Amino acid sequence: MLGLYLTLLLWGLLIARRSRDAFGSLLAVGVVGILFWPALVNIAMVLGLFPVIGVALPLFSYGGSAMVGTLVSIGLLLGISMRRYLF
């Protein structure tokens, strides 16, 4: 699972690097941050390094609003990737 999260994050950074406009690049980096930090906090909670605060693991934990937010974030990355040739 950690490998899949790493792949998703690296894919998002690759999209940010290939984006031709500054807004798309910054948006992609922000989305990667939105996906990275909750995953890091959740994994650290499971390992006992952070106190338990109830942060959902993206794409894995049960919860409607967390899942919708994660899927919207991935949709933004797909949109940036798809539109990189238009501008």
Q: Would the pLDDT of 87 be above 60?
A: no
**Which pLDDT belongs to residue 55?**
82
| Burial annotation 46-81 (CB, 10 A radius, 16+ → b, else e) | eeeeeeeeebbbbbeeeeeebeebbeebbebbeebb
Q: Would the pLDDT of 86 be above 70?
A: no
Mean pLDDT along residues 47-76 = 86
What's the CA gap between 34 and 24, in Å, rounded? 15
By the 8 A CB rule, do 39 and 59 touch? no
Enclosing domain of residue 44: 2-85
**Which pLDDT belongs to residue 21?**
87
Q: How many domains are contained in the chain? A: 1
**Which pLDDT belongs to residue 77?**
93
Residue 58 is given by DSSP the state T
- The band of 60, judged by pLDDT with boundaries at 50, 70 and 90, is confident
How does pLDDT run across 11-58, given as a tens digit for each residue?
Answer: 999 999 999 889 999 999 999 999 999 889 988 999 999 999 888 888
